[in-house]
A = this chain, B = another copy of it.
Amino acid sequence: MNDFAAGAAYVDQQLVPISEAKISLLDWGFLHSDATYDVVHVWNGQFFRLYDHLERFYQGMDKLRMSIPYSREELTQVLMGCVKATGLRDAYVEMITTRGQPRVGSRDPRTCGNQFYAFAIPFVWITKPQTGLHMVITSQQRIPAACVDPMIKNYHWLDLVMGQYEAYGRGGETAVLVDADGHLTEGPGFNVFTVQGQVICTPARGVLAGITRRTVIELAAAQGYKVIMGDLLAGHACAADEVFITSTAGGIMPITKIDSQAIGHGVVGPITQGLQQAYWDMHHDPAYSVCVDY
């Protein structure tokens, strides 16, 4: 039995089984959620759009004034090492940089030594791509960009968690949060899209620039749809022909019900299916793939 089958982590420059992967209680990555991260997936033995994820990760660190002693090539080797240890062909791979701990007695983040962590675990699905989810548009507001830059992938999720509980309480399975003006933003770990005729729409602001979101925008444009990044109101979403969400954890996932109302015919729509097909096909394109050297 492989100790690493349930997952492998890179902690203190060492590979350990995921059950032993721990962070100090005093790391401000925990105590202040002062951290940035990224998640890339491995599908059929290949990383998908790894360089795009790395690029976003390094940009997040720059914005938070953090750094790690690894080049993109070295970081790739670290992530590869985690996946190899598990032997997983389909994996969810997370890389994390935290502020670390300040000098004893200090409250100055500039005295901290930044820490790096990574782990690979079996692929995580928010939901299976064939299953339509019931989404609730919450009264809960998402943290605005003026407070925490959503371009920095971050762990400030209490609003998303409270939104999830609100959704459960209203009979839903997942949640999308609004901004102060009632526009849709994002949900726990995903971006949201609507389809109306030949027009595909996704919120422009106050959301993470998801790599899956970007992939869908590229694929939709290539398939001849008009893609609009703009403001999305609840009424617009409920009246759409199709709605779907996007995440590295699951790709493109259909929403077939919003606030207890069926979307379109209440089944997974043809445009969503076409984009799903194109999305998974793209995983065979060497331009977007990095093979894990098992």
B147 near A109 (CB under 8 angstroms)? no
Residue A270 interfacial (CB < 8 Å): no
Of B28, B65, B188, which contacts A107 at CB under 8 A? Answer: B188
Minimum CB–CB distance from A175 to chain B (whole Å) comes to: 11
B29 near A30 (CB under 8 angstroms)? yes
Residue A260 interfacial (CB < 8 Å): no
CA distance A22 to B105 in the complex (A): 20
CA distance A99 to B96 in the complex (A): 19
0 or 1 for each of A111-144: is its CB under 8 Å from B? (1 = yes): 0000001010110111000000000000011111
0 or 1 for each of A8-51: is its CB under 8 Å from B? (1 = yes): 01010000001001111110111111100000000000000000
CA distance A158 to B149 in the complex (A): 9
Of B32, B156, B161, B249, which contacts A143 at CB under 8 A? Answer: B156
Report B-chain residues with C-beta under 8 Å of the C-beta of A279: none
Residue A168 interfacial (CB < 8 Å): yes
Report B-chain residues with C-beta under 8 Å of the C-beta of A146: 141, 180
Most B CB within 10 A of own CB, among A23, A31, A107? A107
Residue A246 interfacial (CB < 8 Å): no
0 or 1 for each of A178-195: is its CB under 8 Å from B? (1 = yes): 001000000011000000
Residue A294 interfacial (CB < 8 Å): no
Minimum CB–CB distance from A8 to chain B (whole Å) comes to: 11
Of B22, B33, B125, B143, which contacts A25 at CB under 8 A? Answer: B22
| A110 and B157 contact, Cβ closer than 8 Å, known pairs A22-B22, A25-B22, A25-B117 | no
Residue A164 interfacial (CB < 8 Å): yes
| A154 and B144 contact, Cβ closer than 8 Å, known pairs A21-B26, A109-B165, A188-B107 | no
Residue A231 interfacial (CB < 8 Å): no
CA distance A158 to B144 in the complex (A): 12
Of B6, B18, B32, B147, which contacts A155 at CB under 8 A? Answer: B32
Report B-chain residues with C-beta under 8 Å of the C-beta of A200: none
| A99 and B9 contact, Cβ closer than 8 Å, known pairs A26-B21, A146-B141, A147-B143 | no
Q: For chain A, residues 251 to 269, give those with C-beta under 8 angstroms from any C-beta of chain B.
A: none
Residue A204 interfacial (CB < 8 Å): no
Q: For chain A, residues 187 to 216, give those with C-beta under 8 angstroms from any C-beta of chain B.
A: 188-189
Q: List 15 A-B contacts (CB under 8 A).
A: A11-B25, A21-B24, A22-B22, A25-B96, A32-B155, A32-B158, A32-B161, A33-B156, A64-B158, A105-B125, A108-B164, A109-B165, A140-B147, A142-B147, A156-B158
A residues whose Cβ falls under 8 Å from a Cβ of B: 6, 9, 11, 18, 21-26, 28-34, 64-65, 96, 99, 104-105, 107-110, 117, 119, 121-122, 124-126, 140-144, 146-148, 152, 154-162, 164-165, 168, 180, 188-189, 249
